[in-house]
Amino acid sequence: MNQYPEDNENRPVVYAAPEAVPAAEPKSKKGTRTAVTVLIAANVLLLLLSAVTAGVCLSMRSDRNAPPEAEQKEETDPPRGQETDRRTEEPEKAPETAVQTGEEAILPEFRKVTAEGMKTVSEVYADNVNAVVGITAKGTSVNIFGQKTTTASTGTGFIVNEKGYILTNCHVIESGSDFMVTLYDGSIYEATVIGADAETDIAVLKIDEEGLQTVELGDSDGNIVGEEIAVIGNPLGELTYTMTKGIVSALNRVIDTGDGAIRMFQIDAAVNAGNSGGPAFNACGQVIGIVTAKYSSDTVEGIGFCIPIRDAVRTANDLISYGFVRGRASIGAEYTDAYSVYAYYRLYGRGGRYLSYGAYVTKVNPGSAAEKAGLEADDTIIAIDGTKLNDDAALDKALRRYSPGDTAELTVYRNGNEMKITVTLDEYIPSGAVLKEEGDVVL
């Protein structure tokens, strides 16, 4: 599908009807009357031939043109070149309203694709490359011999705010403690992590610089299969600011990243290690997704995945405002995999009083939903609303279906007996987090 503006050859062509020839006044002489009669007959024949010819031309080109009288009728078919792009047919939605948390708050302006705004791939690159950054995450680890080793990983990000806020993937920075950001012009800055969320694989960094070039955010809700996209990133950490292009191959793919299932859209543009966190642009040069994952196999080519930009912005605004993502449910207790506890005590002949499956409760937080419901440390949660739990990860996954304030029935194993406990779920707030009255929403 051609995503770029069409030329003038497809403009409607209006064909004018033949101009009528006025009839001559009859004269008194016989020869003159005969000549006039012949002239009139010739003109009539000419008019008939012209009408037939015009009719044939209009019929042959009816797929491109409408007769003049049709201009007053209501147009029901989309213009040529737009019949496969439903975003140009739908009425524009009002921009989402961000939480007004202060003078620095900026509404998220997700822009629609329009034929007038479409650009060549070269224009997309030139207009945005200065807003794409390379990210280097450095950290230390201890090997099996107790020796400290230095690690480094690279990825991509993009500037979303003139004050230096950068969007990327959580997995790009999760192994680091020191972060460096490199701009296209070679400038290097130390970066601070504002927030990171493994479940959505989104992270926000900030550099101490203002007046930076930023990307324009597109409306990922309007993505369609077949539309052209372009990606800018740093594959392999060495081939910096590389652009590749392709199409949106599929929508609403649910990809399990290990920390949670994330809804993404599929692309066929070439992406590799180092592209993670980079922007995926539509034909108007607007960011519609964050390059996040790809299938890696000797027999697989051209299967990459992007997080829709609307989903990423919702997470980023919470990370900037609060340091964590709001609206997630929690039982208000700490727990671990029950099998690890069972295996440990089995070594000492005490495994019989523990289960080999479920979520083993290690601590109940004071004043939490769990304490109010009567949950105790040393309990094992084996089901929630009738859904069996194999381990602690299964409980984490199940809780994603709930919101703070919802009620859930827990099946609990305690001292050899099963019992039911109904809990009204809390909002998950990480340890040490401080809820702020006002946040700095920038997207």
201 is catalytic: yes
Alpha carbon distance 275, 233 (integer Å): 5
Catalytic residue among 171, 197, 311, 330: 171
Catalytic residue among 153, 220, 249, 276: 276
Query: Is the CB of residue 103 less than 8 Å from the CB of residue 125?
Result: no
Report the candidate in 118, 200, 209, 125 with the shortest Cα–Cα distance to residue 162.
Answer: 209
Report the candidate in 142, 83, 138, 82 with the shortest Cα–Cα distance to residue 115.
Answer: 82
The 10 Å Cβ neighbour count of residue 382 is: 19
Alpha carbon distance 232, 241 (integer Å): 6
Instruction: Write out the two tokens for 296.
Output: 């890696």
Catalytic residue among 85, 197, 201, 318: 201
Residues in a beta bridge with 83: none
Backbone angles phi, psi at 178, to 5 degrees: -125, 135
Contacts 24+ apart (CB under 8 A), 122-130: 123/285, 124/230, 124/243, 124/281, 124/283, 124/285, 125/230, 125/232, 125/243, 127/285, 128/158, 128/215, 128/232, 128/279, 128/281, 128/285, 129/184, 129/232, 129/241, 130/183, 130/184, 130/185, 130/213
256 is catalytic: no
Q: Which helix (H) or strand (E) holds 33?
A: helix 30-60
276 is catalytic: yes
Alpha carbon distance 399, 422 (integer Å): 14
Task: Report which DSSP code applies to 377.
Answer: T
Task: Report which DSSP code applies to 345.
Answer: H
Report strand pairing: 261-267 vs 242-256.
antiparallel
Task: Report which DSSP code applies to 437.
Answer: S
> Annotated catalytic sites, by residue?
171, 201, 276
